Amino acid sequence: MKIGVMLPVGGNDGPGGGTPAWADVREMAVAAEQSGLDSVWIADHFLYRGPDGTVVGMHEAWTLLSAVAAVTERVEIAPLVACASFRDPGLMAKMAATLDVVSGGRLILGVGAGWHDPEYEAFGLPTDHRVGRFEEWVEIVARLVRGETVTFDGQYYRVKEAALVPAPERRIPLLVASFGPRMLGLTAKWADQWNTAWYGAVDEKVEERISAMRAAVSAAGRPADALELTVGITVAEPEADAGSVDELAQTIKGYEALGVTHLIAGIDPRPTAAAITHLAKAKALASS
């Protein structure tokens, strides 16, 4: 079982509840690597606008991922998840291939259809037919990063004899975050990994989500082990009565029993070195 952690990206993720600086992101990434965790992840948003109109700012995810790749050597790096609407599919594939080279083959290309209308509206992006747009987008991205030359004439995207030159040095794993029937079908068709989030210990809801994903994989005619299952869980800081390392280790074991291969922890209210150490101890205990 791999264990990863969400890195600070904006809002109140920084020390003392302020906006994190690059130094804060770097510190948490290095702490994750040194503690023995397997991966680091960054959310991809322009901003978040709450129901009361309060705006929470975010750093740009892909720029941070590139910087994190340069200051780490072992951990996998990934967006959770890159929003399809923010980047043209050809650009996204090119960015992924380049970052995979920079990181020495450590990228997981996490993608999704997007959901937060206020950031779309603020930056002039269309909010209609998000899944329809994603259906075309993910096919182009998947085929490009797998080394194909792609010609595609869709309703929303068109490419003609597009290829990544230089070609990706390996098959970059494509992760899709999804939950609705249509998105699960697209995940089953194109993805190497799937993500659902956010949960605590294993419960009926996550079991139902996993069952639905497995059914979609079967309907797509793929073997059951063709798609790796990843889950995002929320873990409280130790100082905030997170519960014992033993309890967290039992949570990890519960997901492993469901066939989940990678857990990504979002630390509530923010990632700290102590929380990362706590998570790493639970990982070690769960695997002992």
Longest CA pairwise span in the chain (Å): 55
Residue 116 Cα distances to 45, 47, 112, 113, 120, angstroms: 9, 9, 12, 10, 7
pLDDT for 31:
98
Rounded-to-integer distance, Cα 50 and Cα 40, Å: 26
The DSSP-derived string for 48-100 is EE-TTS-EEEB--HHHHHHHHHHH-SSSEEEES-EEGGGS-HHHHHHHHHHHH
pLDDT at 249 over 60: yes
pLDDT for 239:
55
Two tokens at 18?
């302020």
Q: CB neighbours (10 Å) of residue 86?
A: 19
Structural domains in the chain, CATH included, are 2-128+168-287 (3.20.20.30)
pLDDT at 237 over 90: no
Write out pLDDT tens, residues 177-196.
999 999 999 999 999 999 99
Rounded-to-integer distance, Cα 200 and Cα 198, Å: 7
pLDDT for 54:
92
pLDDT at 241 over 70: no
Instruction: Tell me the mean pLDDT in the region 21-47.
Output: 97
Q: For the chain, what percent of residues have pLDDT higher than 70? A: 98
pLDDT at 160 over 90: yes
pLDDT for 58:
95
Q: What is the CA radius of gyration of the chain?
A: 18
Write out pLDDT tens, residues 71-104.
999 999 999 999 999 999 999 999 999 999 999 9
Rounded-to-integer distance, Cα 247 and Cα 261, Å: 19
pLDDT for 16:
85
Instruction: Tell me the mean pLDDT in the region 135-163.
Output: 98
pLDDT at 153 over 70: yes
Residues 6 or more apart from 281 whose CB is under 8 A from it? 245
Residues 6 or more apart from 31 whose CB is under 8 A from it? 273, 276, 277
Rounded-to-integer distance, Cα 266 and Cα 6, Å: 5
**Higher-confidence position of 44 and 238:** 44
Yes or no: say if 172 and 141 are a contact pair by the CB < 8 Å rule: no
Yes or no: say if 141 and 92 are a contact pair by the CB < 8 Å rule: yes
121 band by pLDDT with thresholds 50, 70 and 90: very high
Rounded-to-integer distance, Cα 146 and Cα 143, Å: 5
Instruction: Tell me the mean pLDDT in the region 45-59.
Output: 94
Tell the burial category of 124 from Cβ atoms under 10 Å away from its Cβ (0-12, 13-18, 19+).
exposed
pLDDT for 266:
97
Amino acid in position 162? A
pLDDT at 243 over 80: no
pLDDT for 44:
98
244 band by pLDDT with thresholds 50, 70 and 90: confident
